[in-house]
C-alpha cells in the first residue's frame, strides 16, 4: 500500500471552478463577472515595475558575483560587465 501524495490534496485558486464543473468564467473570488466589468488580459497589465525590479536585481547580482550572473542570465561576461555598470537612470529608460 502506498501513501497518497501530498500534492493531490493541494488545490490552487483557479482549480476550484474547473473541478466543480463551472462553465462560466469566474474572477479570483469565485463569482461571475459583473455586466460591464472589464476583463483584464496580459496585454492590459503594466509590467514596468516588475521589469525594473528584475533589472535592478540582475544588476546587483552582476556587481556582487559576475560569474553567477552570467550563468543565470545566460549572458556573456561583457554584457554582465555592462549591466553591472548601469546607473539607475539607465535602468528606468527614456
Residue 87 lies in a domain: yes
Q: What confidence tens digit (pLDDT) does each residue in 19-77 have?
A: 444 455 555 556 665 665 667 787 788 888 899 999 999 999 999 999 999 999 999 99
Give pLDDT, residue 34.
Answer: 61
Residue 5 lies in a domain: no
Host domain of residue 79: 48-92
State the cell numbers at 60: 546587483
Residue 13 lies in a domain: no
Asked if 8 and 2 touch (Cβ cutoff 8 Å), the reply is no
Q: Is the pTM of this model over 0.85?
A: no
Report angle CA 39, 40, 43 to the nearest 5 degrees.
Answer: 140
Residue 57 lies in a domain: yes
State the cell numbers at 51: 521589469
Give pLDDT, residue 74.
Answer: 95
Closest CA to 73 of 88, 60, 86: 60
Regarding predicted confidence, which is higher, 9 or 68? 68
Give pLDDT, residue 29.
Answer: 57
Phi/psi for 73 (5° steps) reads -90, -5
As for how many domains the chain has, the answer is 1
State the cell numbers at 57: 536585481
Amino acid at each position: 500500500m502506498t501513501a497518497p501524495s501530498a500534492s493531490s490534496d493541494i488545490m490552487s485558486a483557479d482549480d476550484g471552478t474547473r473541478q466543480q464543473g463551472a462553465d462560466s468564467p469566474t474572477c479570483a473570488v469565485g463569482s461571475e463577472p459583473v455586466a460591464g466589468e472589464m476583463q483584464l488580459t496580459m496585454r492590459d497589465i503594466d509590467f514596468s515595475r516588475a521589469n525594473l525590479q528584475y533589472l535592478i536585481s540582475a544588476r546587483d547580482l552582476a556587481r556582487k558575483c559576475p560569474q553567477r550572473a552570467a550563468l543565470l542570465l545566460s549572458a556573456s561576461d561583457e554584457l554582465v560587465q555592462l549591466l553591472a555598470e548601469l546607473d539607475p537612470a539607465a535602468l528606468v529608460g527614456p
